[in-house]
Amino acid sequence: MRYLLGMSFVFLSSGAFAQEARQKVLVADSTKPLLKVEAGCGQCRFGLQKSGCDLAVKIDGKAYFVDGTGINDHGDAHAADGFCESTRKAVVQGKIVDNRFLVSYFKLLP
């Protein structure tokens, strides 16, 4: 019983930290412009070279891997509407640093 309670505490605590990390990306800075971009798997949808599947955005026709949020932070990447299976529209804020997009806000559009 104690083991079960301990494991429940660990699971719930990690969920709280994961939610907190996601919330950092959800607050737009009203002093910075919002960009409407294409978002998807850099390897599967945009042809970027790297092993595995990683979130990328396309800005002005050029694709950049994303730092600050991950491919599975917005649902299952391999679901029918996931980033590996479809390109989605998103509104973002951030900046390009060392040929990567450092995101401070990311919201998928319907």
pTM for this entry: 0.75
Domain boundaries, the chain: 27-108
The residue with tokens 């979130």 is 55
For the chain, how are helix, strand and coil distributed in percent, rounded to 5?
A: 20, 35, 45
Q: Please count the other Cβ atoms lying within 10 Å of the Cβ belonging to residue 105.
A: 20
For 16-67, what is each residue's pLDDT tens digit? Answer: 444 444 444 568 999 999 999 999 999 999 999 999 999 999 999 999 999 9
DSSP E strands in 6-84: the ranges are: 35-41, 55-59, 62-67
Topology of domain 27-108 in CATH is OB fold (Dihydrolipoamide Acetyltransferase, E2P) (2.40.50)
